[in-house]
Amino acid sequence: MIPKFLHAINLLEQPFTEILEECQPDCLVADMLFPWATGVASKLGIPRLYFNGTSFFAMCVLDSVRRFEPYKRAESDFEPFVVPGLPDLIKKTKLQLPTYFRDSTEQNLLREFMGQIWESDLNSYGVLMNSFRELEPAYSEHYRKKKENEVTKEWLAEGFEKRMEGKGLIIRGWAPQLLILEHEAVGDLLKIGVAVGAQEWSRHEKKILVKKEDIEKSMSRLMVGEEAEEIRNRAMALKEMARRATEEGSSYSDVNALLEELRALKRSKEIATSL
């Protein structure tokens, strides 16, 4: 289904371009899955903002893996290797990497598609990230350096707020597509979740990655005991931090700064056109 899916994404470019030509918007916000959006926006003379629903941490790890290819020095799928150039010591195995880093016809298509996404990111006007500065300050700054002279903005989507609902407990490592990098940030860096033992990145739902007893142990760690209380306290503290970021903190000021920047860009274009 992957080739068909990628083909379907590309088929959207022409009708979407026609809609933009008709509506004449001042700015385009497009998900990372539409790399052609940067070129479309450029042709229409409007800025394209690249929306990324993951985290600064996940994108920094993937970027370093893509740039330096440390997995190629590992002798087996299970041998840990260090991901270079990051604020923390991050170790991965080949099995924990996205499948598009592996060799096959199918994965080559995905690898090419991800290359287009990365290029689209670097050439876009700016980035809207599902995060906020106080949550992962080291990786927010690291991502900015990666972007070099590109304009980077942060945005706190509702997604993180939903993660923190209730008691704020999160189990790391169990999902149909096993988003190991995202869950590593939740469990190991933020310490608001626990691992369930998954050691492989997979998008196959029927593949057994975690045993029943491992899930039971993780649930027990989350529900009772001193560790569970510490996790709850940290999660609630981050929830309050997220609320402040959107109401009066970094996300609020960054979004307002972005809007003002876009207004100024529009005014300058209007002046240039009138001349």
**What pLDDT is recorded for position 29?**
93
**What pLDDT is recorded for position 223?**
86
Q: Is 45 exposed, middle or buried (0-12, 13-18, 19+ CB in 10 A)?
A: exposed
**What pLDDT is recorded for position 159?**
47
Residue 3: pLDDT band (50, 70, 90) is confident
Helix (H) or strand (E) holding 100: none
89-114 residue pLDDT tens: 988 888 888 877 766 555 677 788 88
Residue 253 structure tokens: 């000021």
Q: Which residues are registered as beta bridge partners of 127?
A: 50
Closest CA to 88 of 113, 117, 115, 61: 61
Q: How many angstroms separate the Cα of 207 from the Cα of each of 26, 110, 211, 214? A: 46, 20, 11, 16
> By percentage, how much of the chain surpasses pLDDT 90?
31
Contact 150, 126 (CB under 8 A): yes
CA separation for the pair 202, 194 (Å, rounded): 19
**Per-residue DSSP letter, 34:** -
146-196 residue pLDDT tens: 765 444 444 433 343 343 344 333 333 333 333 445 556 666 777 887 777
CA separation for the pair 262, 152 (Å, rounded): 13
Closest CA to 53 of 181, 142, 206: 181
120-146 residue pLDDT tens: 988 999 988 888 888 889 999 998 887
Q: CA torsion sign, 207 to 213 to 214 to 217?
A: positive
How many residues are recorded in the chain? 275
CA separation for the pair 154, 147 (Å, rounded): 13
Residue 213 structure tokens: 């007893």
Residue 218: pLDDT band (50, 70, 90) is confident
Which among 49-53, 185-189, 215-219, 261-265 has the top mean pLDDT?
261-265
Mean pLDDT (whole number) for 228-241: 89
Q: Is 141 exposed, middle or buried (0-12, 13-18, 19+ CB in 10 A)?
A: middle
CA separation for the pair 191, 193 (Å, rounded): 6
So where are the chain's domains? 1-193+226-274
Q: How many angstroms separate the Cα of 121 from the Cα of each of 63, 64, 117, 118? A: 11, 15, 6, 5
The larger pLDDT score, comparing residue 169 to residue 257, is at 257
CA atoms within 13 A on the CB side of 93: 12
Residue 268 structure tokens: 């300058």
**What pLDDT is recorded for position 152?**
41
**What pLDDT is recorded for position 160?**
36
CATH code of domain 1-193+226-274: 3.40.50
CA separation for the pair 20, 205 (Å, rounded): 38
